[in-house]
Chain A
Amino acid sequence: MVSKAQKYLFFLMLLVCVTMAAFLIRLRNRAQDRLQEQAMSAPAEIAEAATSAPKTVTLYVPNDLDDSLTAVERKISLPGDRNAQARVILESLVEAYRAPDSTHPMEVASGIDDVYFLSVPQGQDTTGGGGQIAVVDLSGALATAQPSGIEPETLTLLSMMATLHANLPAVTQVHFLVDGQPRETLAGHADLTRTYLASEVDRPSAAVPGGGL
């Protein structure tokens, strides 16, 4: 036999459950609306940034014949997002690789899938704080098009590191992935298992405005 008190308790708990369910559904709907609003506004922000005035960036273009990097200035429109900025800058460098008169020729349509940043762990940061590791996700197409050899592979990595550090000075270390995965070498030689110190790449001091591209 169910007592009156138990009946009251049952209905009370049922009421609490229904109220909580309604509250959770409302919260979920609000979150959904907020995400939709962000998704709608994001393309507008990117479009706005992409059409902003071009900025001068420095690219370090390799030369296979004398094993050197030449600083070249280019004006390009950069998006507001820092990760996207790094990707656009490196894509400009890859564009220099595939130019008809390239000194580091590579037939590749698109070379950079993504770039993202991590903070340098404490104790490894030689800049006194604020140093960042750029994780550069190279496309499989770039790794395939990369001429094999110690010199050409090392020059590709050095040019990317020097270019990133010149335009985003907080980047002190660089790690490379290919198609989002760790890989032993770029094209049979240059080691991709280690994290490189971008701040120690020897770079020429003079930048050539628009030269060589």
Chain B
Amino acid sequence: MPSMPAPLPLPAQGPRFLVVVDAAHGGSDTGARIGDGVLEKDITLGIAARLRSTLHARGIDVVTIRTADVNLLAVDRAQTANHAQGAACLTIHATATGSGVHLYTSSLTPTTNARFMPWQTAQSAYVTQSLKLESEIDSALAHAEIPVSLGRASVAPMDSMTCAEVAVEMAPLVGGHVTGAKPVTDVSYQKQVVDAVAAALEQWRSDWRQ
């Protein structure tokens, strides 16, 4: 009886590249008031949906934490993000002040990863990775000629996330030599920012394990 050939060994699979996108605020937490009757929670939801479809089009899997106008606790957002084990976590914000895009990473002091991390400071083991991701997004936005400012901040639930986490805050575009003035609600401006962030995440796909 002919013997069955030995099964071919399965190719070694690394961790899946997945992006977690969180539209900040929602429900009774309206966030900032941007212009007449426009609320931050609605802007962030729109940008998150646009980013999700742009990333899907580039073949990147996405988990969206908030998909409707609902209240979500910071602890639940962090739990969902940590459970998804994303290679990148982005929290989308919008504001009426400043210019361009503000990128924020956690202000925690970087530490090494331990088996158990305190919930309030879990991000400290990922700060170095978060700064690298921030740098990728910064380059992509600069390439798209969008002014960027970088900073460190303490904003919930950022400090409890166990992934490379960057808060992307979209501000109006102040008119300059290269750019014309555009409000946060401008769809073409939102698309420009989303495309740049998606390009950065595509680059991150080849860099994140280094």
Contacts and interface: CB of A to CB of B under 8 A. Distances in A.
Given A67-B102, A188-B29, A149 B97 contact: yes
Given A66-B149, A190-B153, A147 B96 contact: yes
Interface stretch (B126-134, B135-143, B166-174, B192-200): B166-174
Nearest to A66: B149
B151 to A, nearest CB: 6
Interface string A60-98: 000011110000000000000000000000000000000
Contact of B169 (A65, A151, A184, A196): A151
Interface string A6-23: 000000000000000000
Contacts of A147: 32, 95-97
B154 interface: yes
Contacts of A150: 93, 95, 102, 104, 151, 153, 155, 167, 169
Nearest to A187: B32
Contacts of A196: 154
Nearest to A147: B97
Contacts of B25: 188
Interface string A150-166: 11101000000000000
B107 to A, nearest CB: 8
Contacts of A64: 97-99
A139 B97 CA distance: 22
Contacts, number: 77
Contacts of B40: 148-149, 188
Contacts of B171: 149, 151
A189 interface: yes
A151 B154 contact: no
Nearest to B174: A65
A203 to B, nearest CB: 14
A190 B156 CA distance: 8
Given A65-B99, A67-B102, A149 B153 contact: no
A91 to B, nearest CB: 22
B97 to A, nearest CB: 5
Contacts of A154: 104, 151, 153
Given A65-B99, A67-B102, A151 B151 contact: yes
B191 interface: no
Given A150-B102, A185-B156, A188-B25, 10 more contacts: A65-B99, A148-B40, A149-B96, A151-B97, A151-B102, A151-B149, A152-B95, A154-B151, A187-B32, A188-B31
The 9 A-B pairs with the shortest beta carbon distances in the complex, nearest first, are A149-B95, A148-B32, A67-B149, A191-B154, A151-B102, A154-B153, A64-B98, A152-B97, A64-B97
